[in-house]
Amino acid sequence: MKLYADTADLNDLETLAAWGVLSGVTTNPTLLNKVEGEEEDIYRKVCGLVDGPVSAEVVAEARGEMVSEGRRLAAIHPNIVIKLPMGAESLAATNTLASEGIRVNMTLCFTAPQAILSASAGAAFVSPFLGRFDDIGQSGLTALKEIVEAFAMADYDTEVLAASIRHPIHVVEAARMGADIATIPPKVFYQMLQHPLTAAGIETFTADSQARGARGSTEVSR
């Protein structure tokens, strides 16, 4: 499973890119609002930091405007993927953009029928949302499992991109279910890195190494 960062924050992206774990980035209007600067400039900088698909979401609502906005965003950088919200207008816009070689990420997918429609319209990625489904008392992971299984049986090329991830367990379960990609907020990446036993182990090894240095390397600790 590939890992994407779900953020437009350039500092976090720089940090995570240096770990060597990022295969792409997803953004949305809410995430973009947290970053200062012009939209196109932000996307250019994100593409400069991470060498992989970078989802940029359109805000137009009618298919014609969606296509125009999608073409404008796609012209910023070859790695830009156009993110469209699930719906009839988006399916039509996906069909046009895909026919022009512009990749689409269908976002706000909650069900297998929505994902199947998106794949059939030519979306390169579908984004089932986990956390937002959990928020209304239903299981985002159950929906993800259904989509992954349906896509495997139907042999779609469309990649399943698990989104709206809230904690490390979502990431592990998405991997176990066979999602192609998980897009992860920086906070969750930092949670994934840590364990108290790792920190305690490092502390012990550092103390023992210092003790050996202090008494000379030939004596043995008992």
Given the rule CB under 6 A, which residues bind ligand E4P? Answer: 6, 26, 28, 107, 127, 129, 131-132, 163-164, 183
Exposure of 93 in the CB half-sphere (CA atoms within 13 A): 27
For ligand E4P, the closer of residues 2 and 212 by Cβ is: 2
Task: Classify strands 80-85 and 54-57 as parallel, antiparallel or unpaired.
Answer: parallel
Closest contact distance (angstroms) between CB of 163 and ligand E4P is: 4
Closer to ligand E4P by Cβ: residue 110 or 156: 110
- Pick the closer one to ligand E4P by CB: 145 or 170: 170
Nearer to ligand E4P, 96 or 164 (CB): 164
CA dist 54 and 67 (Å) reads 17
Closest CB 53 distance from ligand E4P, rounded Å: 11
Q: Is 83 known to be catalytic?
A: yes
CB of 79 to ligand E4P, least distance (A): 15
Strand segments (E) across the chain: 2-6, 22-26, 54-57, 80-85, 104-109, 125-128, 159-162, 181-184
For the bound state, the minimum distance from the C-beta of residue 86 to ligand E4P, rounded and expressed in Å, comes to 12
Catalytic hit among 2, 34, 45, 83: 83
Contacts of 86 (CB under 8 A, 6+ apart): 106, 107, 108, 109, 110, 114, 118
- Residue 107 β-bridge partners: 85
Please list the active-site residues. 83
